[in-house]
Amino acid sequence: MAAFFLPRASDDEQAERLYEALAEFAGCEPAPPGRRVHAIAFGQDGARWVAEVGAELRGERTTQQLRRGELIERTETLTSTTRVLAVYPGTPFVVVTDAQPITGTASEWANPFTAQPDEVTLFDAP
């Protein structure tokens, strides 16, 4: 587990302000300390993705193919240049990234986007 932080915040006070501002941008409520989300894993379009605060979105897709009577399994690594700025718990969870409209960076992901995680990692309680 990790202590609460947000990319681009230089200190704890700025991280708190940014966390609240990003929640407002995403149209959701900021989580109280102790319930803040560090990372989630979720399924999307047949792949398993991980959204971790401060890291680029990453995923894996496993496919199976029958070849000469043998089942061949292939795992493809998926990457995105989209960096996660914050994850807010809820139904569904809300993920805010550094893509448009926050920066000029284009992304294949909406910003913010929603996900139903099957795995959740919280930041350390303060």
Residue-wise pLDDT for 60-91, tens only, equals 999 888 888 888 899 999 999 999 999 999 99
Residues of the chain with pLDDT under 50: none
pTM attached to this predicted model = 0.91
CA dihedral 71, 75, 76, 79 (to 10 degrees): 160
pLDDT at 1: 56
Cα–Cα distance measured from residue 21 to residue 108, given in angstroms and rounded to the nearest whole number = 23
